[in-house]
Structure 1
Amino acid sequence: MANWKVDIAHTEVGFKVKHMMVTNVRGNFTGVEGSVEGDPNDLTDAKITFNIDASTINTNNEDRDNHLRSEDFFDAEKYPEITFNSTEIVETGEDEYDVTGDLTIKDTTKKATFKVTRTGAGKNPWGVDVVGFEAETKISRKEFGLTWNQALETGGVLVGDEITITAELQVNPA
């Protein structure tokens, strides 16, 4: 089986969450490592893993980022990594897959299914094969122990429960 690694220079793992029930806050993680063991042109027999450094969260607001790193949310000092390990991959269409696996945030592991689309393949200017993907899933942050919130005077809460996680990534031979 071939081994491919995530090219961090051409990869972004991001998220969005409802803020004050009216807008979305978006952010990303800059510390991402990942691999695909298998054929990236046909993921059905592949093994996919991701490790994300929780302390690298970035929402373009230093105070919010520090709060997200704290015990109220990711507790990045105690739980430094967010991980994903695929357990089942089902082809759902041409270059489309449901990638199910174990997502671990803090000390909680739950099944999550990413809708993955293979976006293309080619050779970079140095002759190295590259393959691109887009992926998306939605999770309940409360199910992963991310329960901090604040009630709003006008009703509702400061932070929504549903988190949309997205990834745009490129893999290269390891």
Structure 2
Amino acid sequence: MKRMTRPGAIAVAAVLATAGLAANLAWAQIDTAKSTVTATARQIGVPMEGKFKKFDAAVSFDPAKLATSSAKVEIDVSSFEIGDAETTKEVRGRDWFDAAKYPKAVFQSTGIKAGAAGKFDVAGKLTIKGKTVDVVVPATYRQDAAGQVFDGVLPIKRTAFNIGAGEWGDTSVVADDVQIKFHIVTPAKKG
């Protein structure tokens, strides 16, 4: 079996990035300079983290009008970086993200509800590598001088999206569990 130096983060990165971004007081694009989406998985028990360099979202959120709030997040999976060029290239390849055939991971919300401890549960459909799975993303929301800020972690199973196919389907080397972490900032409204 081939060993990749850092494949674990790859598996998850596509999913996370997409699911957790869920709110704003009006439709807004994200502030990409202040926002991050990462994915962390374990390879032989060691946590490996990768980052998506390109993603976008449109969010509409009003805590008093959750029924009409929504979010859509698109992640360019070919922008995923895991730390070294060889591993990054392999993760973008067919067995992992297959970025040439499936260039984007997409999360589209279907509903937002108030959750426990001041969080919001953002239900939606996450599509990676042509596979769509229903997910619920727990997210926190706050407003500050910079704009609206959303944070959260979406746990996924990489094998549900056929990430890490072929010989990488064995979850004893790269764990099936992936944590997608996001920090999303929408710019403050002017005027």
TM-score by length of 1: 0.85
| Stretches of structure 1 lacking an aligned partner (at least 5 in a row) | 125-129
1:142 to 159, 165, 170: 159
Task: Tell me: CA distance 1:36–1:60, structure 2 relative to 1, closer, same or farther (3 Å).
Answer: same
Partner of 2:184: 169
Q: Percent identity?
A: 24
Task: Answer 1 or 2: which has greater strand percent.
Answer: 1
Alignment of structure 1 residues 15-26 onto 2, 5 Å: 15-20=39-44, 22-26=45-49
Q: Is the Cα contact below 8 Å between 1:51 and 1:82 reproduced in 2? A: yes
Distance 1:110 1:89 in 2: 17
Alignment of structure 1 residues 85-164 onto 2, 5 Å: 85-93=108-116, 95-118=118-141, 120-124=142-146, 130-148=147-165, 149-150=167-168, 157-164=172-179
Distance 1:42 1:105 in 2: 31
The alignment partner of 2:180 has SS state of: strand
Partner of 2:66: 44
TM-score by length of 2: 0.78
Give the paired residue count: 163
Partner of 2:34: 10
1:94 Cα shift? 5.8
CA displacement 1:26-67 (0-9 Å, x = unmatched):
01101010011233x557231101000000001111111111
CA RMSD of aligned residues (A): 2.1
Q: Which is worse superposed, 89-98 or 54-63?
A: 89-98
Task: Answer 1 or 2: which has greater helix percent.
Answer: 2
Q: Which entry has the higher C-alpha Rg, 1 or 2? A: 1
Distance 1:93 1:106 in 2: 32
Q: Is the Cα contact below 8 Å between 1:150 and 1:157 reproduced in 2? A: no
CA displacement 1:125-171 (0-9 Å, x = unmatched):
xxxxx01110111111111011434599xxx7221111111101101
Distance 1:131 1:102 in 2: 23
| Stretches of structure 2 lacking an aligned partner (at least 5 in a row) | 1-24
Q: Is the Cα contact below 8 Å between 1:6 and 1:169 reproduced in 2? A: yes
Task: Tell me: CA distance 1:75–1:43, structure 2 relative to 1, closer, same or farther (3 Å).
Answer: farther
